[in-house]
A = this chain, B = another copy of it.
Amino acid sequence: MKADATREEIRHVEEIIEKLGFRPHAMPGAARTAIGVTGNPGAIDPTHFENLPGVSEAIRVTKPYKLISKDLRPEKSVIRVGNATIGGDDLAMIAGPCAVETVDQVFTVAEAVAKSGAKFFRGGAFKPRTSPYAFQGKGEDGLKILAEVRDRYGLNIVTEAMDERGVDLVEKYGDCIQIGARNMQNFSLLKYVGQTRKPVLLKRGMSATLEEFMLAAEYVMAEGNYDVILCERGIRTFGNHARNTMDLSVIPAVHRLTHLPIIVDPSHGTGRNYMVNPLARAGVAVGADGLIIEVHPCPEEALCDGAQALTLDQYAELYAQVKAIHEILAKEEMVIAHA
């Protein structure tokens, strides 16, 4: 749409699209509103739309994805999560324990996270575990503890849902619905979170190509939820010195392709305590919009993934280092912008 298109003009274009039996997706930006069209079996003649009032141009997106694409929306999406945002100028820090275990454990970490200046808190109430006999999370009780964290510490809650019932509960108690790597191609679940109005943190599947990753986001957006934050958390390779292989080259590739923000998870991405800080630094240096980090008051006692959790001190050190790197990049960008 043109920069000065009115609300009525936008609505009119949406109605035309609906009348044709397709689905309009209006995504307002700082300057202009983009309207994506999906549901069309083949190509539609762009001239259908170009003569409508308020329309700037109609572009046929022939790539397999539409709504995630920069062709549709060239400027970066800044996603609101609770009272903060991801994808803007600030580096988003999401920290907290792998799993919600006890009120004490959660509050101890939350206090440290809040004090550090981070705005997001992570913690799993539903845990996807490889073995049916491993700790599966505290469920709704865990979510209630997380909701208390928000009230008490002002942190926005990012937490995983594994099925529809879980999505309903996370929508109720949390601020951002995390879809785990193992569910990245659980298409029914993607459609379901696409119908909620909470932002979605979508983790890359452990053997997902870039295109599959983008199309998983497209599944969510095609249902009308455009608030998708991507997350690189390591892929599966022959390598055995870390639990997964962090694929940091996906960050510039994602930024080239889509307007959606992407963050990095060096905790699951490496599975090794001593690698988390170096890979967090690398993730910020490569251009990620944020980090998600596991912190535990006493990692060796963690019920889940203790080997990778940072102590509170290690977390503080990490945050100091990545903020310094993030500032450098911001300054460099300014230099480039003024050159």
Contact = CB atoms under 8 A, between A and B. Distances in A.
Interface of A: 38-39, 64-66, 128-133, 162-164, 166, 182-183, 185-189, 191, 206-207, 209-212, 215, 218-219, 222, 235-242, 245-253, 256, 269-270, 272, 274-275, 278-279, 281-287, 317, 320-321, 324-325, 328-329, 331-332, 336
Contacts of A218: 131-133
Interface of A, secondary structure class, is helix
5 contacts: A162-B186, A206-B207, A235-B245, A321-B332, A324-B328
Identify the interface centre among A39, A245, A251, A285: most chain B CB within 10 Å of its CB.
A285
A252 B274 contact: yes
Given A188-B163, A212-B130, A328-B328, A281 B286 contact: yes
B246 A239 contact: no
Contact of A278 (B189, B237, B242, B286): B286
A324 B317 contact: no
Nearest to A209: B240
Residue with the greatest number of chain B CB neighbours at <10 A, chosen from A130, A209, A246, A321? A130
B187 A129 contact: yes
Contacts of A285: 278, 281-282, 284-286, 325
Given A182-B185, A222-B132, A222-B133, A251 B236 contact: no
A130 B131 CA distance: 27
A245 B206 CA distance: 14
Contact of A317 (B131, B222, B236, B336): B336
How many copies of this protein are present in the complex? 4
Contacts of A38: 132-133
A237 B240 contact: no
A321 B287 CA distance: 12
B286 A241 contact: no
A284 B281 CA distance: 9
B238 A238 contact: yes
A263 to B, nearest CB: 15
Contact of A209 (B39, B182, B238, B284): B238
Contacts of A252: 274-275, 278-279
B246 A275 contact: no
Contact of A242 (B241, B253, B287): B253
Nearest to A280: B285
Contacts of A250: 239, 241
B162 A188 contact: yes
A235 B246 contact: no
B253 A241 contact: yes
